[in-house]
A and B are shown apart, each in its own frame.
Chain A
């Protein structure tokens, strides 16, 4: 899906936990996530902290979208 969105001309960032899969699939902007069943959250945290964690990841994702890349890049 990520490639088709890119092909349509829209910059796209893939937020996922198993980044090697994303590399194989061919995503260009990749942001590693927390865990498979909760990529943008952590149920062990209390609600406020969890949302702050999610915000950080979304900021990182938006950061990736505003960064020029030359080929596949993982934004650690």
Chain B
């Protein structure tokens, strides 16, 4: 029987949502929890989960090194044939945890590992070349589909079988190239691809260009005392009542709010619209996310020229990269037109 150790977060362990995201790491020996049930079913008697490790998403991400080492010890002790983390779908902190752990188990313990998440999860770009990562849908509604790919790949890894190409197994391309004999010769494949492209049909390239979207840093601010500084946040700070109805997750728009004459954000005037992190602290004092109070002091003291009288905000929770890019492209032009010389962007 193949032995499996499974890692999940506090949400999938049914401990709780955001209010329990600081749940410390816990080992449940011999227990199959949450998505582990579906995995067990998919193993079809070939493998069993001998232990489930549970950890809150915030706890993990705020103590990455320490928690990683604790979990590595647990996995080492149980000595499974394969380690499975997640799947994390589009939950960012969970994705980072799954990627960190799966990669560490593989590299440091030399135990095969697999995880799964949505392609836009930040954990994907961080770890997809380090460990097998099944490409999943962006929400837990895709659990069945994810398990259908994770379980067979885990079994293959545990048995030391040859792993097929990413398109066959369903993992994200990891940059590893393997030589093989193609049935059709190159010229024929190229012409077929070209014909498909010309007739507007979908085609699959055999050599995808890497997507390095990097922007060179701008020169430093020279004269802070004469610079207008603006605040931007993905932490969802909005005037109390969220007048523009910015969504708690997968935001479809951003907000622009006037802070002329505002010297302090209070629980009566501002709050967060952001789901996915415990809102208690931000609702109590939004300066903890958007430091208006401190910047007003520094404006008065002449350290900065001026705090821009508008701030821009959205919720980063599950918001598509393309949306965030479009929001920022738009408000950045406004910032330029308003003569803003520096931006502090805060994220939760």
Contact check, B289 vs A38: say whether CB atoms are below 8 A apart: yes
Contact check, A5 vs B126: say whether CB atoms are below 8 A apart: no
Contact check, A3 vs B213: say whether CB atoms are below 8 A apart: yes
Contact check, B217 vs A8: say whether CB atoms are below 8 A apart: no
Contact check, B342 vs A55: say whether CB atoms are below 8 A apart: no
- For A, the interface residue count at a CB cutoff of 8 angstroms equals 51
Measured between alpha carbons, how far is A3 from B335 in the docked complex, in Å?
A: 14
Measured between alpha carbons, how far is A43 from B220 in the docked complex, in Å?
A: 32
B residues 296-328 near A (Cβ < 8 Å) are 297-298, 303-304, 314, 324-325, 327-328
Contact check, A15 vs B61: say whether CB atoms are below 8 A apart: no
**Chain A 10-53, CB within 8 Å of chain B: the 1/0 string?**
11111111101110111111000101111111010000001100
Which partner residue on chain A sits nearest B227 by CB separation?
A65
Contact check, A8 vs B288: say whether CB atoms are below 8 A apart: no
Query: For this complex, into which size category does the number of interface residues on chain B fall?
Result: 35 or more
**Interface CB pairs A-B, < 8 A, 29:** A2-B328, A3-B214, A3-B328, A4-B328, A4-B329, A5-B335, A6-B215, A7-B215, A8-B336, A10-B335, A12-B342, A16-B347, A18-B92, A18-B122, A21-B347, A28-B215, A36-B61, A36-B277, A37-B58, A37-B278, A37-B281, A39-B288, A39-B348, A40-B291, A51-B287, A58-B291, A58-B298, A62-B298, A62-B344
**B152 proximal to A (CB < 8 A):** no
- Complex interface: chain B residues within 8 A of A6 (CB): 215-218
Which residues of A does B touch, CB under 8 Å? 1-18, 20-22, 24-29, 33, 35-41, 43, 50-51, 54-55, 57-58, 61-62, 65-71
Measured between alpha carbons, how far is A14 from B279 in the docked complex, in Å?
A: 20
